Amino acid sequence: MMTNLNLILSSILFIMGLFSFVLNCKHLLSMLLSLEYIVLSLFLVLFIYLNMMNYEFYFSMMFLTFSVCEGTLGISILVSMIRTHGNDYFQSFNVLQC
């Protein structure tokens, strides 16, 4: 019973992260933060699922490693965008420009 409640709570957290990602598309930093929130809620779902099935938690450590790599890539893109354009607005960033 308690694990079902935890899964429902973590799915609500995931949906809230998706809403914040969709609604905050003005700044790159806010989108990166909402993506990290989604990754943490997915980690919670994975942890609860592995705990329910009595599996090893090695896969959760792999998931955390890849999420840290994803966060590092996002921060590097943010820094390069701020250096070239001066801000992190998506309106000032032209995708077609090389």
Q: Report d(CA 89, CA 69) in Å as an integer.
A: 23
The angle subtended at Cα 11 by Cα 5 and Cα 13, nearest 5°, is: 105
Q: Domain spans of the chain?
A: 2-85
Task: Kindly report, residue by residue over 56-69, the tens digit of the pLDDT.
Answer: 888 888 999 999 99
CATH number of 2-85: 1.10.287.3510
Task: Kindly report, residue by residue over 45-98, the tens digit of the pLDDT.
Answer: 888 888 888 888 888 889 999 999 999 998 998 888 888 877 777 666 665 454
